[in-house]
Structure 1
Amino acid sequence: MILTACPNPSVDKFLSLSSIKPGQVNRSTGEAAFPGGKGVHVALAVNELGVASHLAGFWGGPTGQWIKQMCSRQGIDSSGPAIDGWTRTCLTIRSGKELKDTEILEHGPTVTERDLHHFWEAVDQKAGQTNLICVSGSWPDGSPDQVYQSLGTYCEDPRFSVWIDASGDRLKQAIDIHPYGIHVNTTEARSLLGREDTADNYARALLDYCEVAAVTDGADGLYLASGDGVYHAYCPVEKVISTVGCGDCLLAGLLVGQHKGASLREMAVLGTACGAANCLRPDLGMLYRSDVDDLRKKVTCNKI
């Protein structure tokens, strides 16, 4: 089992419009809702790849319960506190070229110290059933600055591998606990390291803070680094329908690869195929195993 924590889940809603007229009534031509938040995407992708997944989060109001129900239908158990307020809704708008895949992210609810205690309690209760823990995404208001310190014991224990996907100040805080793995894109790496560089050099530099560093560079693919070197993996996608959640699906592939004892190169190939698979369907932040199986054959992966 892989344990994924999603501190700030969301209802991801797709909204299609033929055009947008500011200051006027605009009617959508199509909409759909999906369980979302970075950690939720990771858990769903892990499950689709055939590995048991447990999801810990903060769940607010009817929207939070809806996400849990949708995950349960996929066979994913969840835990964590029910909190005041409603879990956020995030919109992805498609309207012509100018607003294609424009995202509007709600702020989300505020958590209390009691909520945080129950959240970490949920993580602790499930940690004994796994050696892989992933904490992915933003944190709700009310979370302390050093919130990742609660994972310090797991990072120090060689039985566990803790992966973190974060950005901004949260990423700066996360590296203090030296997790096993870090997943960022080039923009996030540039902000953390404070310099302009290539994606492979970002990955190498991040090894000062972790054992495995995954840096994604958009269409240029994945740079995966460890003490064994750096691999660049790339997968062409002829028709991209949506890129929302590609990084989350890629991270799920890395986790599943590690869970199955794959080499660094094999992890890079699987992760890249998963990220590419997410582009092929309109389902936001989700993938299909059949697509992953097809795309793995198309991945180019080289050590650099």
Structure 2
Amino acid sequence: MILIVNINPSLDVIFYTKGFHKSKVNRSYKEEIVPGGKGINVAKTLKAFGEEVKVIGFCGGSTGIILKEELKKRNIDYELVEIKGKTRFAIGIKEDKKKEFTVLNGSGDKINEEEWNSFFKIFKENLENAKIVIISGSIPPETPTEIYALMLKEIKNPKILRVLDARDNVLKEALKESPDIVKPNKEEMENLLSKKLKNKNDYIYAIRYLRSFNIKYPLISLSKKGALIGIEEGIYKATLPPNDGIQWGTGDSFLAGFIFGLKNYQDPFEAIKLACASGYVKTKYPEIIDKQQIKEIFILKDKVKVKRLC
């Protein structure tokens, strides 16, 4: 079982508009509601690949009720602690005329001590059946930045693959626990290093920095420009032709593709190809949840080019 930690999930509402104008009343021609948050996005894609997944975290309020209903529709197993607060919204606005996509993420509500205690009980219980643990996404307000580091420290079994996708100080603290896989995107990596990643030498420096924390597979997603991976043999860049699709959630599908590839092929090169193909296909859809989308990923996988940087 793949255990996925998403402590700040969201209910994503996507509005499709022909034209969007600031400071004016706008009308959409289509709306979609999907369960979101980085961990849940990873779970949906892995489930579509045929993997057994379980999401743990928090939910609350009317948005939390809808979130659980939407997870049930997608056959995603979950164990979410009910909180006094409410599950946050995330709003996406797709504007056809200018081909723009705007996201407004809610912050979520504070988690109290009793709710945290309930969560860690669930977390520890589920570790017994987990082969992979993915800790992914933002944290609720007033949550200590060491929270993901604490979770990684709780995973005592060395056979469990520990995967992290976080940002800023949460990422910085969690790196000290040497997860097996990390996947910041380019912007997150630039913030961590206080340095722009502009060229090949910058990419090499960034991957080597992550490798210095004894991370087996450091990944950096570069959005439309592909992705980087570091392994013992060297540092590589994987690319596909860029497209103008929606980039929201592509990094999550990227990570799911990598995990699926690594688990089933034990080959980081196959994994990075599946990762890039998964991220690319996600640009065409609000979510990856069916077999036809997975077929597209496998067709596209063979078009991914992997080049050694050093």
Q: TM-score, normalised by structure 2?
A: 0.90
Task: Work out whether 1:179 is the aligned partner of 2:179.
Answer: yes
Cα distance in 2 for partners of 1:269, 1:20 equals 36
Return the offset for 1:285.
6.5
Paired residue total = 302
Change in 2 beyond 3 A, CA 1:155/1:124: closer
Change in 2 beyond 3 A, CA 1:20/1:101: closer
Return the offset for 1:99.
7.7
**2:305 aligned partner:** 300
Task: Work out whether 1:233 is the aligned partner of 2:238.
Answer: yes
Cα distance in 2 for partners of 1:203, 1:248 equals 19
Within a 5 Å distance, the mapping from 1:191-202 to structure 2 comes to 191-197=191-197, 198-202=202-206
Change in 2 beyond 3 A, CA 1:260/1:278: same
**1:86 aligned partner:** 86
Return the offset for 1:242.
1.5
Return the offset for 1:291.
1.5
Amino acid of the structure 2 residue aligned with 1:82: E
**2:140 aligned partner:** 140
Cα distance in 2 for partners of 1:237, 1:149 equals 35
Return the offset for 1:263.
1.1
**1:62 aligned partner:** 62
User: Quick check: 227-236 or 167-176, which moved more?
Assistant: 227-236
Residues 152, 162 of structure 2: 8 Å contact kept: no
Amino acid of the structure 1 residue aligned with 2:276: T
**2:160 aligned partner:** 160
Of 260, 264, 276, which residue of structure 1 is paired with 2:264? 260
Residues 199, 216 of structure 1: 8 Å contact kept: no
Within a 5 Å distance, the mapping from 1:97-136 to structure 2 comes to 100-136=100-136
Return the offset for 1:289.
0.9
**1:217 aligned partner:** 222
Cα distance in 2 for partners of 1:277, 1:20 equals 25
Cα distance in 2 for partners of 1:286, 1:250 equals 14
| Cα deviation 1:149-189 (Å, max 9, x = unaligned) | 33243555421221111111111121122211110111111
Amino acid of the structure 2 residue aligned with 1:205: Y
Cα distance in 2 for partners of 1:180, 1:156 equals 13
Change in 2 beyond 3 A, CA 1:261/1:128: farther
Q: Which runs of 5+ in 2 are unaligned?
A: none
**2:48 aligned partner:** 48
**2:252 aligned partner:** 248
**1:151 aligned partner:** 151
Residues 223, 247 of structure 2: 8 Å contact kept: no
Return the offset for 1:105.
0.9
Return the offset for 1:24.
3.6
Return the offset for 1:83.
0.7
Report the aligned-residue RMSD. Answer: 2.0
| Cα deviation 1:52-76 (Å, max 9, x = unaligned) | 1111111112212222222222221
Q: Which runs of 5+ in 1 are unaligned?
A: none
Change in 2 beyond 3 A, CA 1:156/1:199: farther
Residues 186, 199 of structure 1: 8 Å contact kept: no
Task: Work out whether 1:273 is the aligned partner of 2:283.
Answer: no
Return the offset for 1:284.
4.3
